[in-house]
């Protein structure tokens, strides 16, 4: 990633009265990258996105998109971005087709063949009044408008929470198509399989600060592998080794525990000396990974 | 037993509705019963002498007044109470129906649209319980108001009134209100949204009101075919006929049963008449914030224009009776001579127009302020978050709402004055020049713009305090319209920009007021735009 970042968020803060919604948000997104933005409810994902859109003003720190300030140059920036909010609210007395066209025109775009194709792909009935749409259908309206824009940067805030699996697949295919065309995407999501499938890098936000950024592989490396082992010699003294956590003793010859990734080689050497009978190691699942960050360091889940 | 299961937990829902609505209900009761009592108490002073009574009866018998207030059926000797009944009944019945439609929609479709009914009926609550709760709420409200009217009239003790007549008026109004409340509940089953229910209900009311106008003018007997007109037939303080009350109760009962039958059969969230499908593509003019606000506001705006035009026309239709000094005093004609009399007549009408202008201005400011403040409401509902993320600039969105607000105010005032001018020209032998009405518009517009600009300033800087704009409008009405009656000091009137406009069209326009008002408007709007650019979007 030698290129200059497209989005540069530096030490971003936001206060609502006395409440610190964001204390320190810091991340970058590079051209052609899909960035996953994850964190528990109320961690500050939507607040961050609203600041990036110039809807609300940061109390401190900086955020630039295309090298321009997100608050001061919002109109210029908005010409080049597309946005789908997490909670899509539409004017109840307008039809989906009308709303899609209006969003396109507000950005100086127009209804194109691409729009028609997307309406078919997502299976939206554009003539229904927005009042009669379900949550999923409202999301489709916003998604169709966003995907038919020719933007450089796409922001999706939990875009698939109301979609059925078929439409979710359509969404993923469209995002991958954007990536193939070198577009950048900021995707806030709770659906881990979605994040795993599409995102190049991930930023985890908790209590208003970014606690980790990196690729999934990097993060896996930071967590613990679960080991279930049976040996010929008694093995209970494994608990005394560095990097071993949460030992459960089944018998003297059978224990399970979690081990830090960087201590794995040393532990394996130790276990081999004890004479291996059976060994299973389980790499951390995504869930483990997220649970660890979501729940905070003080109550980290040990491996499992 | 099989039937009651559909109404399980109705009483709990009634309590819930009352807890939610009680401020609104109390407000309606106090305002309506208070209005009725205050007018009744004042009536003896307004028409103090027998001659004044005879004169007003003559006016009430003209077709224009019959169309507005219903036929004057009382027989001589005319009493204050008989004139009161003729003047107030149709008017108050209209308020009763409007109240019942508003509360009826709120208690049914409003909750269903919001998804509350779904949540409630998913519990051990009968399918018909929310509807029955609405019926109970409306019944109680109308009963209490009926008693309030009866008591108020008893207290006012107008000359010529009797207790039977007092209570008959009270319960007659309660009955017409209740019957139309039940009609609203039927409409709530037919339409599939709160907006649709309101539109259907008010459309039926409008149709019946116009029908009633035409039958009253042509042949009052035919009014028996128009349910809204039954209330005129109670013949209060004369024959004291209770038959219309029973007729309303029967009609209301039938409608209530019909509403329940449809409700128990229909799907939740559906209506007998489905919402029409919308457009496949947006029309060409829906291309920016200006088009968007128009798309949202056009229906309401047209209604305001028509309503104020009709109100203006109603006032205009009585200009000939007001502006006929010779009618009350034949000697005047000989004293003044024909041309001087015509000039004096015009002056009387001009004075009347100057007072009515304030009413028209206040009414025109309602949609104007509503549209200006709608910006914050639309932010809070989330409509504008996606718009805010497009290339549409903040000031552009703000200008669309405030601009339509100002335009709505100007247009609605113009419509009201046009109604007055047209109807005045038709009914008066020697009507006012068009310029008189035009001057009213020119004189008040800058002052109105100041009030709209202040509303916009609140939107830009203090969105949470935006309701202050309504308070100021209410104060303006109080200070400027009632101020002269109550002999308020000048500074109290000058707390509203409207108070600086001095009796146009009787007096000439004071251009210095117009210019400083326009200057202030520009300044305030500039500040409002800056404020809206700087603040966080409401969420």
Q: Which sign, positive or negative, has the C-alpha torsion B518, B524, B530, B532?
A: negative
Say what the pLDDT of residue B323 is.
67
Query: How confident is residue A304, by pLDDT bands cut at 50, 70 and 90?
Result: very low
| Higher-pLDDT residue of B257, B210 | B257
CB atoms within 10 A of CB B534: 12
Say what the pLDDT of residue B213 is.
81
pLDDT at residue A298 greater than cutoff 60: no
**Min Cα–Cα distance to chain A from B405, Å:** 19
- Chain A positions with Cβ closer than 8 Å to B: 50, 53-57, 74-75, 78-79, 81, 83, 85, 87-103, 105-108, 111, 126-129, 131-132, 142, 155
Global pTM reads: 0.78
Average pLDDT, chain B: 88
Say what the pLDDT of residue B38 is.
85
Q: Which of A166-180, B90-104, B378-392, B419-433 has the lowest mean pLDDT?
A: B419-433
Using a CB-CB cut-off of 8 Å, the residues of chain A touching B283 are 98
Mean pLDDT over B376-399 rounds to 91
Query: How confident is residue B328, by pLDDT bands cut at 50, 70 and 90?
Result: low
Please answer whether residues B237 and B160 qualify as being in contact, where contact means their C-beta atoms are separated by less than 8 angstroms.
yes
Query: How confident is residue A2, by pLDDT bands cut at 50, 70 and 90?
Result: low
Strand intervals (E) in A111-162: 153-157
Q: What is residue B161's DSSP assignment? A: -
| Higher-pLDDT residue of B116, B289 | B289
pLDDT at residue B45 greater than cutoff 80: no
CA contacts within 13 A on the Cβ side of B67: 13
| Higher-pLDDT residue of B417, A291 | B417
Within this chain, do residues B199 and B152 fall inside the same structural domain, yes or no?
A: yes
Structural domains in chain A plus CATH codes = 7-216 (3.40.50.300), 224-283 (3.30.70)
Choose one of B265, B299, B331: the last residue of a domain.
B265
In chain A, % of residues over pLDDT 90 = 55
Q: Does B516 reside within a domain? A: yes
Mean pLDDT over B340-347 rounds to 82
pLDDT at residue A288 greater than cutoff 80: no
CA B521 from centre of chain: 28
Query: How confident is residue B75, by pLDDT bands cut at 50, 70 and 90?
Result: confident
**Min Cα–Cα distance to chain A from B120, Å:** 19
**Min Cα–Cα distance to chain B from A109, Å:** 10
Query: How confident is residue A303, by pLDDT bands cut at 50, 70 and 90?
Result: very low
Q: Does B151 reside within a domain? A: yes
Within this chain, do residues B245 and B326 fall inside the same structural domain, yes or no?
A: no
**Min Cα–Cα distance to chain B from A17, Å:** 12
Q: Does B454 reside within a domain? A: yes
Q: What is the pLDDT of residues A136-150, one digit of tens each?
A: 999 999 999 999 999
Tell if the CB–CB gap between A98 and B389 is shorter than 8 Å: no
Within this chain, do residues B293 and B222 fall inside the same structural domain, yes or no?
A: no
Say what the pLDDT of residue B448 is.
97
Mean pLDDT over B355-363 rounds to 90
Contacts with A264 (C-beta within 8 Å, 6 or more apart), sequence order:
A225
- Highest mean pLDDT range out of B94-108, B267-281, B445-459? B445-459
Q: Which sign, positive or negative, has the C-alpha torsion A144, A145, A149, A153?
A: negative
pLDDT at residue A293 greater than cutoff 80: no
In chain B, the number of structural domains is 2
**Min Cα–Cα distance to chain B from A166, Å:** 24
Q: What is the pLDDT of residues B146-156, one digit of tens each?
A: 999 999 999 98
Q: What is the pLDDT of residues B117-137, one digit of tens each?
A: 888 888 888 888 999 999 999
Using a CB-CB cut-off of 8 Å, the residues of chain A touching B287 are 102, 105-106
Within this chain, do residues B196 and B293 fall inside the same structural domain, yes or no?
A: no
Please answer whether residues A283 and A221 qualify as being in contact, where contact means their C-beta atoms are separated by less than 8 angstroms.
no
Q: The domain containing residue B174 runs over which residues?
A: 10-265
Using a CB-CB cut-off of 8 Å, the residues of chain A touching B464 are none
Within this chain, do residues B213 and B351 fall inside the same structural domain, yes or no?
A: no
Q: Which of A236-245, B326-335, B441-450 has the lowest mean pLDDT?
A: B326-335
CA contacts within 13 A on the Cβ side of A160: 22
Which pairs count as long-range contacts for B300-307, CB under 8 Å and 24+ apart, including other chains? B300/B367, B300/B370, B301/B367, B301/B408, B301/B411, B301/B412, B304/B363, B304/B364, B304/B366, B304/B367, B304/B408, B304/B412, B304/B415, B305/B411, B305/B412, B305/B415, B306/B415
pLDDT at residue B430 greater than cutoff 80: no
Choose one of B223, B249, B265: the last residue of a domain.
B265
Q: Which residues on adjacent β-strands are paired with residue A62? A: A10
Say what the pLDDT of residue B327 is.
62
Q: Which of A287-296, B233-242, B277-286, B350-359 has the lowest mean pLDDT?
A: A287-296
Within this chain, do residues B107 and B191 fall inside the same structural domain, yes or no?
A: yes
Q: How far apart are CA B468 and CA B236, in angstroms?
A: 42
Say what the pLDDT of residue A126 is.
94
Within this chain, do residues B336 and B451 fall inside the same structural domain, yes or no?
A: yes
Q: Does B369 reside within a domain? A: yes
Tell if the CB–CB gap between A103 and B195 is shorter than 8 Å: no
Q: How far apart are CA B216 and CA B223, in angstroms?
A: 6
Within this chain, do residues B254 and B300 fall inside the same structural domain, yes or no?
A: no
Cα of first residue to Cα of last residue in chain B, in angstroms, is 48
Say what the pLDDT of residue B329 is.
64
**Min Cα–Cα distance to chain B from A30, Å:** 21
Say what the pLDDT of residue A300 is.
42
Mean pLDDT over B197-215 rounds to 87
Within this chain, do residues B192 and B109 fall inside the same structural domain, yes or no?
A: yes
- Tokens in use for B524? 């305030």
- Chain B positions with Cβ closer than 8 Å to A: 113, 193, 195, 275-283, 286-289, 291-292, 295-296, 381-383, 385-394, 534-537, 539
Nearest-Cα residue of chain A relative to residue B113: A131
Which run of H or E residues covers position B493?
helix B490-493
Q: What is residue A18's DSSP assignment? A: T
Q: How far apart are CA B317 and CA B35, in angstroms?
A: 24
Q: Does B539 reside within a domain? A: no
Query: How confident is residue B64, by pLDDT bands cut at 50, 70 and 90?
Result: low
- Tokens in use for B185? 């509940």
Q: Does B280 reside within a domain? A: no
Peptide bond into B505 cis (omega under 30): yes
Q: What is the pLDDT of residues A148-176, one digit of tens each?
A: 999 999 999 999 888 999 999 999 999 99
Nearest-Cα residue of chain A relative to residue B285: A102
Tell if the CB–CB gap between B383 and A89 is shorter than 8 Å: yes
Q: How far apart are CA A218 and CA A201, in angstroms?
A: 9
In chain B, % of residues over pLDDT 70 = 96
Say what the pLDDT of residue B325 is.
64
Query: How confident is residue A299, by pLDDT bands cut at 50, 70 and 90?
Result: very low
Mean pLDDT over B48-66 rounds to 78
Q: Does B495 reside within a domain? A: yes
pLDDT at residue A302 greater than cutoff 50: no
Say what the pLDDT of residue B486 is.
65
Tell if the CB–CB gap between A88 and B286 is shorter than 8 Å: no
Within this chain, do residues B310 and B252 fall inside the same structural domain, yes or no?
A: no
Q: What is the pLDDT of residues A104-130, one digit of tens each?
A: 999 888 999 999 999 999 999 999 999
| Higher-pLDDT residue of B42, B1 | B42
Say what the pLDDT of residue A237 is.
85
Within this chain, do residues B315 and B234 fall inside the same structural domain, yes or no?
A: no
What ipTM describes this predicted complex? 0.80
Ramachandran class of A246: left when φ > 0, alpha when ψ lies in -120 to 50, beta otherwise: left
Using a CB-CB cut-off of 8 Å, the residues of chain A touching B193 are 92, 131
Say what the pLDDT of residue A45 is.
92
Choose one of B265, B298, B324: the last residue of a domain.
B265
Within this chain, do residues B106 and B209 fall inside the same structural domain, yes or no?
A: yes
Mean pLDDT over B78-94 rounds to 88
Please answer whether residues A162 and A143 qualify as being in contact, where contact means their C-beta atoms are separated by less than 8 angstroms.
no
Q: Does B477 reside within a domain? A: yes
């Amino acid at each position: 990633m030698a290129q200059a970042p497209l989005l540069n968020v530096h030490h971003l803060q936001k206060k609502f009265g006395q409440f610190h919604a964001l204390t320190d948000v810091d991340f970058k997104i590079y051209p052609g990258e899909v960035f996953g933005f994850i964190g528990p409810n109320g961690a500050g994902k939507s607040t961050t996105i609203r600041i990036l859109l110039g809807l609300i003003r940061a109390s401190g720190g900086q955020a630039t998109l295309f090298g321009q300030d997100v608050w001061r140059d919002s109109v210029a920036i908005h010409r080049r971005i597309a946005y789908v909010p997490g909670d899509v609210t539409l004017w109840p007395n307008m039809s989906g087709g009308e709303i899609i066209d209006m969003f396109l025109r507000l950005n100086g775009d127009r209804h194109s063949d691409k729009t028609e194709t997307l309406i078919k792909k997502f299976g939206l009935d554009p003539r229904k009044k927005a009042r009669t749409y379900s949550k999923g259908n409202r999301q489709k309206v916003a998604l169709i408008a966003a995907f038919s824009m020719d933007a450089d940067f796409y922001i999706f805030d939990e875009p698939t929470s109301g979609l059925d699996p078929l439409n979710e697949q359509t969404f993923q295919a469209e995002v991958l198509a954007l990536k193939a065309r070198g577009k950048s995407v900021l995707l806030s999501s709770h659906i881990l399989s979605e994040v795993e499938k599409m995102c190049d890098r991930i930023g985890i936000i908790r209590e208003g600060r970014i606690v980790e950024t990196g690729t999934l592989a990097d993060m896996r490396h930071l967590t613990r592998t679960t080991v279930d082992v049976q040996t010929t010699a008694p093995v209970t003294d494994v608990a005394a080794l560095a990097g071993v956590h949460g030992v459960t003793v089944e018998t003297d010859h059978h224990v399970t525990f979690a081990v830090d990734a960087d201590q794995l080689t040393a532990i394996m050497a130790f276990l081999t000396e004890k004479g291996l009978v059976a060994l299973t190691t389980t790499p951390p699942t995504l869930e483990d990974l997220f649970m660890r960050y979501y729940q905070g360091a003080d109550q980290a889940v040990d491996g499992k | 037993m099989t039937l009651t299961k559909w109404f399980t937990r109705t009483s709990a829902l009634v309590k819930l509705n009352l807890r939610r609505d009680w401020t609104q209900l109390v407000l309606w009761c106090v305002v309506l019963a208070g209005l009725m009592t205050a007018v009744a108490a004042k009536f003896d002073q307004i028409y103090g002498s027998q001659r004044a009574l005879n004169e007003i009866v003559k006016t009430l018998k003209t077709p224009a007044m019959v169309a507005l207030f219903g036929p004057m059926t009382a027989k001589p000797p005319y009493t204050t109470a008989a004139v009161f009944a003729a003047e107030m009944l149709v008017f108050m019945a209209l308020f009763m129906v409007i109240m019942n439609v508003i509360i009826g929609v709120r208690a049914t479709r409003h909750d269903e649209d919001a998804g509350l009914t779904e949540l409630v009926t998913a519990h051990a609550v009968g399918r018909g319980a929310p509807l029955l709760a609405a019926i109970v709420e409306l019944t109680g409200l109308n009963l209490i108001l009926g008693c309030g009217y009866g008591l108020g009239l008893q207290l006012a003790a107008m000359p010529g009134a009797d207790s039977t007549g007092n209570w008959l008026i009270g319960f007659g109004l309660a009955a017409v209100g209740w019957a139309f409340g039940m009609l609203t509940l039927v409409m709530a089953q037919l339409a599939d949204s709160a907006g649709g229910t309101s539109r259907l209900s008010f459309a039926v009311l409008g149709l019946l009101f116009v029908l009633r106008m035409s039958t009253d003018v042509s042949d009052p007997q035919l009014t028996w075919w128009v349910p809204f007109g039954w209330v005129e037939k109670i013949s209060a303080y004369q024959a004291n006929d209770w038959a219309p009350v029973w007729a309303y109760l029967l009609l209301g009962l039938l409608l209530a049963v019909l509403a329940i039958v449809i409700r128990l059969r229909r799907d939740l969230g559906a209506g007998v008449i489905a919402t029409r499908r919308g457009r496949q593509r947006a029309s060409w003019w829906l291309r920016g914030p200006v088009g968007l606000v128009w798309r949202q506001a056009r229906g309401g705006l047209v209604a305001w224009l028509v309503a104020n035009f009709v109100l203006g026309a109603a006032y205009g239709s009585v200009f000939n009776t007001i502006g006929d000094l010779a009618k009350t005093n034949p000697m005047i004609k000989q004293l003044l001579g024909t041309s001087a009399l015509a000039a004096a007549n015009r002056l009387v009408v001009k004075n009347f127009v100057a007072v009515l202008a304030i009413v028209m201005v206040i009414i025109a400011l309602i949609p104007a302020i509503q549209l200006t403040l709608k910006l914050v409401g639309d932010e809070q509902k989330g409509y504008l978050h996606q718009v805010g993320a497009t290339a549409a600039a903040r000031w552009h969105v703000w200008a669309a709402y405030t601009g339509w607000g100002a335009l709505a105010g100007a247009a609605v005032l113009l419509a009201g004055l046009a109604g007055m001018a047209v109807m005045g020209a038709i009914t008066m032998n020697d009507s006012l020049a068009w310029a008189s009405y035009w001057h009213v518009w020119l004189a008040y517009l800058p002052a109105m713009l100041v009030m709209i600009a202040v509303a916009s300033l609140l939107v830009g800087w203090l969105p949470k305090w935006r309701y202050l704009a309504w308070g100021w409008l209410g104060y303006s009405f109080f200070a400027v319209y009632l101020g002269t009656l109550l002999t308020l000091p000048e500074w109290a009137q000058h707390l509203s920009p409207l108070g600086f406009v001095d009796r146009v069209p009787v007096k000439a326009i004071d251009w210095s007021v117009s210019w400083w008002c326009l200057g202030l408007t520009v300044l305030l709007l500039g500040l409002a735009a800056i404020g809206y650019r700087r603040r966080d979007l409401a969420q």
